[in-house]
Structure 1
Amino acid sequence: MKIVVLAGGTSTERDVSIVSGTKVCEALRSRGHLAILLDVFCGKEGLQAETAFAEEYDVEREAAYIRSFNDSIEKIKAERREFFGPGVLETCRAADTVFLALHGTCGEDGRIQAAFDLLGITYTGSGYLGSALAMDKTITKQLFRENGVPAPAGVIVRKTDSPKSAAELGMELPCVVKTACGGSSVGVYIVHTEEEFSEAVKNGFSYEDKLIVEQYIRGQEYTVGVIDGKAYPIVEISPIAGFYDYKNKYQAGSTIETCPAPLSAELTQKMQEIALKAYDTLRLESYARMDFMMDEDGGIYCLEANTLPGMTPTSLLPQEAAAVGMNFADLCEKLIEVSKR
């Protein structure tokens, strides 16, 4: 198959996306596919769709080319109005499918999915509606509440509200302050004092104009992948220090991840059933990954859904696939197979 692995972009998760895309492209190449790596935003000058899918291809060289734009993203954004980079749409049209290795805004939020639907371009993952619903955690929380998916209590605050304290919002400390549409735990703060709360709100609003102040669940973190309507083995996530933030997600050795999680059969089934309910509630398709907290009394809370889960060497969905005998290349092909629409 001729496959474009679309990565990069403009979100705070650009670097993670490049790693995901590189690994996916290498895996698909190892299976004989004519896969190429392409930055959705920066594209490539002179790229010709009819000659792009070559037998000989240096994935690492292309990844380095994409990274060369990292310091210029804001400058490029200021100079042009169109999001898609040079040659991107033409090459995606020429491909058999596009593997979306994008994370965050303008990648995971439904806008690219909607554009591809209109252009007749086949891609991996959920469609535009489910992607948009899951991206905005304020909408996710409302839908979970209305459909019986257990989630932490929380309130939505906007930049114009300027909350002065957690107490003003009726929230007890400690609590969690997080951006509505962020990813990879960028813009997530666990606060224990009103001073920390004020700082977290200030920092959160530097990313977005909408935040969630949420009940802090003291306990253990888990995640559950769903592929083609089937819940996969659960991963137990135990950071060595702090919580599962950006550093602990992507720095090797920072977190102990156990798959399958050491849970009873009853709790395993319950969490997987909630994952499937969350998946259906958000109108997700093909695959996704739901994140959970379990409190000290065994209460289960669904935090959010990831519609394009990470595909880096330390990512969680590949660990779940491995637990059922599926290696990384198998998983990449499986995600393409279940995404045909």
Structure 2
Amino acid sequence: MNILLIAGGWSPERDVSLLGAEQIEGALRRLGHQVRRFDPEGGLHGIFDAAQGQDFAFLNLHGSPGEDGLVQALLETIPLPYQGAGPRGSLLALDKAAAKAVFVRAGLATPAWEFVSANRIASWHPRLPYPLVLKPNRGGSSVGVAFVNNEAERITQLARPEVLGQDLIAEVCIHGVELTCGVLEGKTLPPILIRPKAGSFFDYASKYLPGASDEICPAPVDAATTRKLQEMAQTAHEALGLADYSRSDFLMDGAGKLWILETNTLPGMTATSLLPQEAAAVGLSFEDLLAELIRLGMRKHS
């Protein structure tokens, strides 16, 4: 099969996307596929020429474009099949405020939040009590995430280059254990418990520096908590209208209550990324996982 591997782009997660693409390309070639690369950094107009003669597009984009559904919408005009969520589900999941509204409507517990548009950041004063977590509304990989405990810290954090000019959300800070749980073809995978070795949360360095976090799969939690995590991940996947696979991130507070934070439609795809680790726990190698995602994407198209 001729596969167009789309990776790179212009988001702050570009380097992570390209790193994963190297491993994906190697695995696809081991599976016997021919691989052509397309990097939309210079613009998306080239996607039509790049798609000529291709049978399938494998997406490994993080942030915009890619997780916002724009690339998926273009592929559907060709049409060229691809793995994962369509344009609508991708956009809903990437926009944290929109996703949280969907979660609440689906009965899922998520930390209370405020949406802060870029044009009112200078005049914004939070209604929620400190401490708060500030995040870019459409960011990923924890880029630009900050904890603020008072007004002085809020002012300092809002001036950081990572968040300037962006819409934000402010969430009530929930202290607890970080967990994540994937869904593959409507089936939930074993959850992972994440313990960063430095810092207060699973930040960019903890995610991507080798050995910076302990990622324990299956998570060492009781059976009831495992079932609840899987049920919540499945509910989020369905409520957002996703397809093929996704990975949802959670916090478990001191009382054992689970809170959903966000759902990723194009989760990290190196052999040691979180969702591939979960797939490995149920007997799927990295190559097996990619082959299954291609099968699911082709099935959607047919």
Selected match of 2:151 from 175, 191, 194: 194
State the alpha-carbon separation in 2 of the partners of residues 163 and 262 from structure 1: 44
Asked whether 1:106 is paired with 2:90, we answer no
Distance 1:181 1:330 in 2: 31
1:205 to partner: Cα distance: 7.2
The alignment partner of 1:321 has SS state of helix
Deviates more, 1:314-323 or 1:153-162: 153-162
Q: 1:164: how far off? A: 6.2
Identity percentage of aligned residues:
43
With over 3 angstroms needed to count, the CA separation of the structure-2 counterparts of 1:130 and 1:319, relative to structure 1, is: same
| Alpha-carbon distance, 1:194 to partner | 2.3
Q: CA deviation at 1:98?
A: 0.5
Matched, 1:249 2:193: no
Q: Residues 8 and 104 from structure 1, CA distance in 2 versus in 1: closer, same or farther, beyond 3 angstroms?
A: same
- Alignment-derived partner of residue 280 in structure 1: 238
Partner of 1:23: 23
1:260 aligned partner, one-letter code: P
1:219 aligned to which of 169, 176, 180: 176
Among candidates 259, 262, 276, match of residue 304 of structure 1:
262
Corresponding residue for residue 48 of structure 1: none
* 1:324 and 2:282 are equivalent in the alignment: yes
Q: Does 1:336 align with 2:294?
A: yes
TM-score when normalising by structure 2: 0.94
The secondary structure found in structure 2 opposite 1:170 is coil
1:241 aligned counterpart, secondary structure = coil
TM-superposed deviation, 1:207: 4.6
Rounded Cα–Cα distance in structure 2 between residues aligned with 1:199 and 1:124: 40
| Partner residue, 2:3 | 3
Whether the 8 Å CA contact 1:22–1:37 is kept in 2: the answer is no
Separation in 2 of the partners of 1:262 and 1:164? 44
Q: Indicate if the aligned counterparts of 2:61 and 2:67 stay in contact, CA closer than 8 A.
A: yes
Q: In the alignment, residue 8 of structure 1 is paired with which amino acid?
A: G
The alignment's C-alpha RMSD in Å is 1.6
Whichever residue aligns with residue 151 of structure 2, its letter is E
Corresponding residue to 1:158 among 112, 117, 126: 117
Q: What is the distance in 2 between the residues matched to 1:93 and 1:285?
A: 25
Choose from 81, 84, 102 the match for 2:45. Answer: 84
Alpha-carbon distance, 1:92 to partner: 1.7
3-state SS in 1 of match to 2:259: strand
**Residue 196 (structure 1) shift:** 1.7
Change in CA separation of 1:205 and 1:31 when aligned onto 2, cut-off 3 Å: closer
Which is higher, the Rg of structure 1 or of structure 2? 1
2:160 aligned counterpart, secondary structure: helix
Q: Give the superposition deviation at 1:140.
A: 0.5
Tell me, yes or no, if structure 1 residue 175 matches structure 2 residue 136: no
Q: Is the 8 A contact 1:11 1:106 kept in 2?
A: yes
Tell me, yes or no, if structure 1 residue 32 matches structure 2 residue 57. no
What is the CA deviation profile of residues 167-217 of structure 1, one whole-angstrom value per residue up to 9, with x for unaligned ones? Answer: x42222221000100011111111223222212222277454311010111
Can you list the C-alpha shifts for 1:65-89, whole angstroms capped at 9, x where unaligned? xxxxxxxxxxxxxxxxx5334xx32
Q: Which amino acid aligns with 2:54?
A: A
CA contact (8 A) 1:131 1:284 kept: yes
Provide structure 2 residue ranges, at least 5 long, that are not aligned to the other structure.
none
Q: Is the 8 A contact 2:136 2:163 kept in 1?
A: no
SS state of the match for residue 9, structure 1? coil
Structure 1 residues 174 and 102, CA, compared in 2 at 3 Å: closer, same or farther? same
Q: Is the Cα–Cα contact under 8 Å of residues 7 and 37 in structure 1 kept in the other structure?
A: yes
- What is the one-letter code of the residue matched to 1:194? E
When the two structures are superposed, what TM-score results if normalisation uses the length of structure 1? 0.84
